[in-house]
Amino acid sequence: MRSIASTIKRLNVLRTVKSSPITVSKNTRLQPMSDFGDNPGNLTAWTYVPTTFEPGGAVVVVLHGCTQNAASYDHGAGWSQLADKHGFALLFPEQQRVNNPNLCFNWFATADITRGQGEVHSISQMVRTMIERHSLDSGRVFVTGLSAGGAMTTALLATYPELFKAGAVIAGLPFGTASNIPEAFERMQGQGLKESRILTDKVRHASDHQGPWPSLSVWHGTADKTVDPINMEATVGQWWHLHELDENPIITSQLQNHRCRTWSDSAGTPRIEAHTITGMGHGTPIKSGENGVSMPFMLDVGISSTFHIASSWGLIGEQTISSVAVSPYLPVPASDDSRHHSPHPVGTVIEDALRKAGLM
């Protein structure tokens, strides 16, 4: 257990608002969204509906990370540029400093991640209003987010699973793993994570939904010092048990530093993807010049997660990413940390990682 002094120090860090200024695009492309219903989370909302959009199209909900806002995240990740090319709509919920000094979505606050309450309810109201206002396809609603936005993504998928077809978590955490700020810091450091079946039960109890469950894509860098990559395995385990999938993933590789594990259901439909970026720190993987702009927490590693995520959701037509299927039992490269790249069954991966961290 951490000392009181240590906890106070971390709380002071969280309250500091001057250390990480927001980088904002001068010419924001987003439009404010008002009158979207109940807003107990006191959030604001922005939208982007390209001229190429047609009624019945899809929408992606995009959640920024701490110290960011909607415009800065869109500028870095390139979602609106991709929407221009492929005709889908975008919804950007945005945190306010009055709710969180560092503009983090409050993924660790029970009042904000409980169905019918707080921030998750506000976002669900935005989604429903967006569907009605722009004649969207309610069966093609997706959500993605970075860091605190990634953790809020799992919260939305758990509390309002009927709203979303799929989600993508970037450098985030599993749903329901923390209920206060000290616990949030511990989980970010990979401490105190529960066994995956316990985490799965938290999703089952978050709503009365009986399935089918949204598909999930998880992205994480092996050099992430802000959110330990063990959270990637915990998130995979949480949703792997929920989907009741087979244990062995198929491993594909797009780039030298990118490894993807895919678990499919009995019909062969991919339900979970786990993307590991070797050597990447805390942030969203982008490919500058193709889709995205390098800036704080937007890391140019030669692969656009925005493009890949949209492609996996069927939003950009033909699959143009070159994927090579290989044996699911390839040896792990010596430079990798086996905690985060093990090709063994996900339950074994998580249990081994927890034991190495001294949590089991």
List residues with catalytic annotation: 147
The DSSP code for 95 is -
Alpha carbon separation from 332 to 82, 197, 329, 339, 343 (Å, rounded): 34, 26, 9, 10, 8
**What does the block give as tokens for 321?**
């990413």
Q: CA quadruple 228, 233, 239, 241: dihedral positive or negative?
A: negative
Give CA–CA dist 34/359, Å, rounded: 45
**What does the block give as tokens for 81?**
């540029």
Give CA–CA dist 90/136, Å, rounded: 11
Burial class (CB in 10 A: 0-12, 13-18, 19+), 290: middle
Give CA–CA dist 83/206, Å, rounded: 32
Q: Starting at the edge strand that comes first in sequence, how are the strands of the sheet with 324-326 ordered?
A: 31-32, 44-48, 89-94, 59-63, 141-146, 166-170, 215-221, 270-277, 258-264, 250-255, 324-326
Q: Which residue has the tokens 């316990």?
A: 198
Give me the residues paired with residue 218 across strands. Answer: 169, 274
